[in-house]
Amino acid sequence: MKMVFIGPPGAGKGTQAEGIIKRYAIAHLSTGDMLRAARDAKTEIGVQAEKYMSSGQLVPDSVVIGIIADRLKQDDCKVGFLLDGFPRTIAQAESLDQMLVEAGTPIDVVLELKVPEEELFRRLASRARADDTPDAIRQRLVSYANQTMPLLDYYGKKGLLQSIDGLGTVEEIFARVVGVLDPYKV
């Protein structure tokens, strides 16, 4: 299964992603995790990315597109993958389409986790990550609304979008996730 997981910061994507990759035995490609690892290792990309991440802004497209292009070439992605936090802009989505056309492996489904904004702010504010200051949180929600939400229309028009309610317990949400994804299982 090849899928994209879309949802605002604080929607619980990370938690659900863990369950999904186990159930379907696919690779987990999280640009946020990769960028944090690069930042902690102080690589050139990591140092560059840090200033965007700490203020809640998106890292430039060219940086994340390069990271994903390299990652998708690795063998473990052949069985399937979950893209978590990528694409986040239309330019990233178009690059991804191009990469997948070249690889001959189109996306099966784009899953959106829907959570109302007030709930997101509440959840993010109770989390203790260095990039979770109130200003950074606000900026991340703004970036999501302005740059990432247009992807819902982009994938909707391609007939790939499936949306689920992200309110409830982890188990309740996972049951909805599985209800959508199981039919795509190969």
Here the tokens at position 78 are 């052949």
Strand 81-84 and strand 27-30: the pairing is parallel
What per-residue string of b and e applies to 161-181 under the rule 16 or more CB within 10 Å gives b? bbbbebeeeeeebbebbbeeb
Q: Which is nearer to ligand AMP, 62 or 74 (CB)?
A: 62
Here the tokens at position 100 are 């997948």
Minimal CB distance residue for ligand AMP = 32
Closest distance of CB 184 from ligand AMP, Å: 23
Nearest to 52 by CA among 82, 84, 89, 7: 89
Q: Is 152 left (phi over 0), alpha (psi -120 to 50) or beta?
A: alpha
Q: Which is nearer to ligand AMP, 64 or 109 (CB)?
A: 64
Can you list the positions of beta strands (E) in the chain?
2-6, 27-30, 81-84, 109-114, 161-165
Closest distance of CB 92 from ligand AMP, Å: 6
User: Is the CB of residue 31 less than 8 Å from the CB of residue 64?
Assistant: yes
Closest distance of CB 110 from ligand AMP, Å: 14
Q: Which is nearer to ligand AMP, 96 or 109 (CB)?
A: 96
Closest distance of CB 30 from ligand AMP, Å: 6
Nearest to 83 by CA among 178, 7, 140, 152: 7
Q: Which is nearer to ligand AMP, 45 or 161 (CB)?
A: 45
Closest distance of CB 131 from ligand AMP, Å: 6
Q: Which is nearer to ligand AMP, 12 or 32 (CB)?
A: 32
Interface contacts to ligand AMP, rule CB under 6 A = 9, 31-32, 35, 52-53, 56-59, 64, 85-86, 88, 92, 140
